[in-house]
Each structure stands twice: as structure tokens, then as C-alpha cells.
Chains A and B, each alone.
Chain A
């Protein structure tokens, strides 16, 4: 394998990995604060992509406005889901709320099939994101550079919010102990609602980027990204925000390099991701950056 070829594979891997990272950040943030693996995260991604699709296709918005509209709407939907499906179960055993999350996921998928139709459709992708940049024999589309930048910016922004603002402090307090936080005068309902809103907005950004990169849209589009990014979050240490980023890059690069070096195994790339999940759970259940008492966000 020539160096140029390896570089091309590496760039492909980074481009995929940053997309995983972007979605995993939202996953891990919600877990870090509410201790809930939100299995509906992938389907929220799907909704966000459809909001853009309808914004552009039905209401003829310019793409950036449609994206903005989708992020806001998705955040509201995320908050609504929390109110309807998770909040009534807050005092129930943790397994109940997990099952509720799976239920929401199935609901959204089938809701999507009924309302949007099961036929895969094309996602609108503006020219700006599709420009091919050539460096010698290595090609990269502009989106492949934009996604990592967005992912890192959001990561820094999120870390700042969690660590340096009053709301962030309240979030951290909730992640430690909800009851005590309540006693300290924190409006727990509002903080949790905000967490879901923020998590869903992050999912929306991820969903829009996913749609731009792979412009094929159908109601089950969120399942695989949802699972992969869950794995990424676990690999990095679930609840740990920089860890999610790291996990995303490891997973993306790993998948690409697996296919690159062992083309015979291309059919097993999803299996590869799940094998990683099992190995991590066996040997380092807290993930790479997670600590034993990883209660912090």
C-alpha cells in the first residue's frame, strides 16, 4: 500500500469518524446527566433529516434556514419525548425507563414509515458541501473537512457550557444526585428538559450532516448510526464528552482500515463495531477515558 493510498484511507476514516463523534457527543451527554441510554437518539437523527427535507422540499426554505428550523424543532421534539415517555418513569427502576426508550425508538420508526412513507428519498445537498478538493492523488469533499470542524467546535462549546456556566453546574449537580440537587434549589425538571433539548439539537446537527454525506433518506436511516454511535460513546467511556469524540474516531477509522486492509471482510464491518463493543465491555467497561467513578460529565 502506497503512502498516498493510506492517506486517502486515513482521510476517509477521519471523515466517517467525525460524523460518528458528532452523534456520539449527544448520546453521551444525555447519559452523563440523566443516566439514561436514550435508544431513540438514532431516530431523532432521522426526524431531523426529514425536517430539513420537508423544510426545503415543502416550504421552499433556503437550506441554512431549513437546517436551523430542523435543529430547533428537533430540540422541541426531544424535550417532548422526555416529558411524555421518560419523566413519568423517573422514580421507576432504571430498566423501565430503558424499555420506554426502546419503545420510543420503535414508535418513531413506525411513525416515520406511516407519515413519511417507506420509500427511500433523496436528501437535498447544496453544492458548497460537495466540492471535491484534490491534493495530488488524494481527494476529499469539502464536507469531509466541515464535519470535523463542526464536531470539534460543538465539543468545545459543550464542555464549556457544562463546566463554566450556572446551567452546566446544575447539570453536573443533577448527574451526581438528583434528590440532593432538588434540595439545593435546582429546578431539576427544567435542567433535565434542557439536557434533552440540547442532546436532541446535537442529534439534529449530526442528522443533517449524515444526510448531506449520504443523501439517501428513509425512516429507518437512524438505526445504524444510532447503534454505531452508542458503541462509540461506550468505547470512549459513556458519559464522558471528549471520550465520545475519541470513540467516534476510533470506530470510523477502524471500520475504514478494516475494509482497506482486509477487503474480504467488507461484509463484516458492522460486526467489527459490535465486536469492539463486546471487547470493551469485557475488558474496560468504563471505556477508554471513563474512570471508575465517572460520575462527572
Chain B
């Protein structure tokens, strides 16, 4: 008898938990950012859900299917979610092409390389998309890129900056600059503006982005200073680490003027905080991944003065599309957009433009049209894709001041 009532209690409490979690998940999905939702099941991005259901006819004849794979959970979740905000906004503003609705399919790659490859397979095989947008994170993009290449489905990356993402992959394009340029920009900033003579590097060895960018920074910095030993130390960690004091203690006595530490915003913020606690007062520099509100929230006072390069600033709109994007974004989300939202917005528009020029939703035709993208006016600048599928664009340097990202300067690409 006792046992019976206890069992009932357990069953009831489990049902209760499930109902509560389902309810909460339901609320989450109403938010534009999809924040609380694991997009595991490959559901459509929330906004497209509305427009898609308006068109209702599920037959592939009247919709064009566009896949999106981004990290909605895990270490890069903020970056992925900001990008999806931009993609959703663009889809809302420009929902049609060739007289058909564009329907988005979002899959969460969970900041995991294996999941990224799975996500792309899923989009291609199950959702049968014509073209894919994504992903934040170079390692994730490389993992997904191989699958897309084998299947012959074109992909447009929003913010993966490692050169290897598009190299030897005719189906991968991107709307952002690449790391050889970004590394040079930061090295120049360190040498010319900060007058740094000695620098140290701390890199995330499990991230292709971090390792690649660190090496380009090193090359450029050594060249600028003309001193082979200008990089006094290279320390290493990996994604998910939280304790950096051992590496930092080793750097302290070498007294570098600047420390270049590209990596996920979470780890980087913890790292800088621990460095300050240890009494390291060198200037910290990073890459575009720093631009997430959580970087400042986690780092607090420790990240004051940290400078990094990124793709876009709301303070210096470059094209008329920038202005349009800025206003629409502010209206929809009630805040200033980050570079990742702008790049997501641009990736969507570049894809839409390519479909329009291709005149069909056939992947090969879209690929060929994408490769011919020229002087496309996006929110982040004029986009022309070169023979590798990369965009040659300017970079922006920002700095943390009084708990905010402040625009410092724009650096033009080498012609």
C-alpha cells in the first residue's frame, strides 16, 4: 500500500517536471532569440515559423528552404544566438525571393565539432535545404563544411574567420574578413597605437580560430618590431578550462607590454580576470569573439581597457543598408546590434541575392551565383567574394570602457 502511493507520487512529480519544462520551453520559443530552446530537433527559426505557416503549403514547390546551423548552446552560444537574431531579422524584412517564401531551418550545433557535422547532414538529408548559412566558430564551420562539400550544397559563413574554412572548399563562402588580416590589424594596433615592444600570446589550442589568429598576430608583430624575440611567451589552454593561473603566473615575470589572447568570450573573460588578480597589468588584446555582452558581465572591472578587432560598429554605418539594419534591429530587439547580428543579416541577404541571380533553388546554380557575388551592399560593408569565397572588408577596433564596447577606429583592408 505504502509502495503504491509512493510510486504514484514519483510518477506525479515526474509528470509535473515534464509539464513545467515543456511550458518553460514554450515561453522560450516565443523570444526572438530562441534563447531558452535547444534547437536539437531542427525546428525552424522562430520567425520563419510564422511566415512559413502563413504560406502553409509544405510542398517544396512554393518555399525555398534555407538551413541555418549555429551554436545556440555551449561555449559559443551568445555568438550563435546573436547571429540568428540577425538572420531572423533579415528573413522578416525580406521574406521572399523569386516569388516564393524563404523558409529557415535552424539546427543547434551545440559548439561541438561532431554536432556541427551532424547538423549539416541533418539539414541536407532531412530538411532538404538548397543552401546553408553558418556557423559562428571556425572549427565548427570546418567540420560542417566537409559534409556540405561532399553533398554539393553551398554554405555562406557569417563569422568564421580562419582561412581554412573556405580554402579547398568550392562550396563554402563567407561574408567576413579572414584572420591573416585580423591578426595584422591587432599587431599594428599593439605596435603603432599602444607602442608595445614585447607581447605574449595565450591561445586556445582546441580552437582553430584561436591558434590561427595567434599565429598571424605573431608573424605580423615580429615583422613590425623587427625583433625575432618580440613574442616573449606563448601559453596554451583549451576550451572549457576555467583555471588559468598556472599559465599566467609563468607570464608575469616576463613583463610583456601586451597580451594577445583570442578565444571564446567566457574563457577569455575568466582568464583576464585571473591575470588582473595576479597583478598582471599588461594590455589585453583579442579578436572578434570578445564582442558579447557576457564578456563584460563575466569579466567585470578586470576587462576595462581590453581592445579587440571586430567586423562592424553601430557607431559608424558604412552603407545605406547599415542604417536600415540598425533601425530595424533596434526596433525589433530594443538594443544596439553586435557585429554577429550584422553578419547574420548580411549572410542571409547574400544568399537571397544569389538565389535571385541564379533564378532557381538548385544548389549548384546558387553556388555559381554566390561565387560571382560582387559589390553587394550589406550592413557590414560592400561584399565582393574573391576566388576563395572570402570577403575583403575593413575591420573595426573596439575597446571596453566603463562597462561598454566603445568604437576606436576603422582599419581598411590592403588593396
Alpha-carbon gap, A215 to B297, bound state (A): 9
In the complex, are the beta carbons of B247 and A114 less than 8 A apart?
no
Interface residues in B199-245 (C-beta closer than 8 Å to A): 205-206, 235-238, 240-243, 245
CA distance A214 to B24 in the complex (A): 27
In the assembly, what is the distance between CA of A80 and CA of B16, in Å? Answer: 13
| Cβ contacts under 8 Å, A256 to chain B | 243, 245-246
Chain B residue nearest to A266 in the complex (CB): B236
Are A224 and B240 touching (Cβ within 8 A)?
yes
Q: Is A267 an interface residue (CB 8 A)?
A: yes
Q: Is the interface of B mostly helix, strand, loop or mixed?
A: helix
Sorting the interface of chain A by its residue count into under 10, 10 to 19, 20 to 34 or 35 or more gives: 35 or more
B13 touches A122 (CB 8 A): no
- A121→B250 contact, CB < 8 A: no
Contacts known (A9-B246, A111-B21); A263 close to B38, Cβ less than 8 A: no
B164 contacts chain A at the CB level, 8 A cutoff? no
Q: Could you tell me if B13 and A266 are in contact, using CB atoms closer than 8 angstroms? A: no
Q: Does A167 contact B (CB under 8 A)?
A: no
Contacts A114-B38, A120-B266, A263-B235 given: A220-B242 contact, CB under 8 Å? no
- Nearest CB on B from A114, distance (A): 5
Contacts of B297 in A (CB 8 A): 121-122
Given the complex of chains A and B, what is the CA–CA distance between A292 and B9 in angstroms?
Answer: 40
**Nearest B residue (CB) for A252:** B243
Closest chain-B Cβ to A15's Cβ sits at a distance in Å of 8
* Chain A nearest Cβ from B335, distance in angstroms: 15
A161 within 8 A of B: no
Say yes or no: is A118 at the interface (Cβ < 8 Å to chain B). yes
Q: Closest CB-CB distance, B318 to chain A, in whole Å?
A: 29
Given contacts A119-B294, A120-B75, A215-B270, is CB(A84)–CB(B21) below 8 Å? no
Q: Would A120 and B294 be within 8 Å (CB), given that A83-B10, A139-B277 are in contact? A: yes
A121 surroundings in chain B (CB, below 8 A)? 294, 297
Chain B residues numbered 236-266 whose CB sits less than 8 Å from any CB in chain A: 236-238, 240-243, 245-247, 249-250, 252-253, 265-266
Distance (whole angstroms) from the CB of A70 to the closest CB of chain B: 19
Q: At the interface, yes or no: B355 with Cβ under 8 Å from chain A? A: no
Residue A259 contacts which of B7, B21, B246 (CB distance < 8 angstroms)?
B246
Contact partner of B28 (CB less than 8 A), chosen from A16, A117, A224, is A117
Q: Smallest Cβ distance from A252 to chain B, in angstroms?
A: 9
Tell me the bound Cα distance from A12 to B252 in angstroms: 14
Residues of the A chain whose Cβ atoms lie less than 8 Å from the Cβ of B14: 84
**Distance in Å from the Cβ of A262 to the closest Cβ of chain B?**
10
B35 interfacial contact with A, CB 8 Å? yes
User: What separation, in Å, do the CA atoms of A117 and B78 have in the docked complex?
Assistant: 10
A5 and B36 contacting across the interface, CB-CB below 8 Å: no
Q: Is the CB of B37 within 8 A of A114?
A: yes
Are A260's CB and B298's CB within 8 A?
no
Contact A267 B36 (CB under 8 A): no
Query: B351 on the interface (CB 8 Å rule)?
Result: no
Asked whether B358 is an interface residue with its Cβ less than 8 Å from the other chain, the reply is: no
Nearest Cβ on chain A to B132's Cβ, whole angstroms: 21
**Contact residue among A15, A84, A137, A267 (Cβ-Cβ distance under 8 Å from B236):** A267
User: Which of chain A's residues has its CB closest to B248's CB?
Assistant: A12
The answer to whether A115 touches B77 (Cβ under 8 A) is no
Which residue of B74, B81, B206, B236 contacts A263 across the interface (Cβ within 8 Å)? B236
A256-B245, A260-B250 known; A118 and B72 CB under 8 Å? yes
Interface residues of B in 19-70 (CB under 8 A from A): 21, 24-25, 28, 35-38
Which A residues are CB-close (under 8 A) to B236? Answer: 263-264, 266-267
Bitwise interface map of A from 121 to 140 toward B, beta carbon under 8 Å scored 1, else 0: 11101000010101001010
Given contacts A83-B10, A110-B38, contact A267 B205 (CB under 8 A): yes
- Is A263 a contact of B247 with CB atoms below 8 Å? yes
Q: Distance (Å) between the CB of B123 and the closest chain A CB?
A: 19
- Contact in complex: B73, A8 (CB < 8 Å): no
Given contacts A84-B13, A263-B236, contact A220 B74 (CB under 8 A): yes
Let me know if B245 and A12 touch, CB within 8 A: yes
> What 7 pairs between A and B have smallest CB-CB spacing?
A118-B73, A122-B297, A259-B246, A119-B77, A12-B245, A214-B242, A122-B298
Interface residues of B (CB under 8 A from A): 6-7, 9-10, 13-14, 17, 21, 24-25, 28, 35-38, 72-75, 77-78, 81, 108, 110, 205-206, 235-238, 240-243, 245-247, 249-250, 252-253, 265-267, 269-270, 273, 277-279, 294, 297-298, 300
- A: which residues have CB within 8 A of B? 2, 5, 8-9, 12, 15-16, 80, 83-84, 88, 110-111, 113-123, 125, 130, 132, 134, 137, 139, 141, 214-216, 218-220, 224, 255-260, 263-264, 266-267, 269
9 A-B pairs whose Cβ atoms sit less than 8 Å apart in the complex: A12-B249, A120-B78, A120-B294, A130-B277, A215-B270, A215-B298, A257-B246, A266-B247, A267-B236
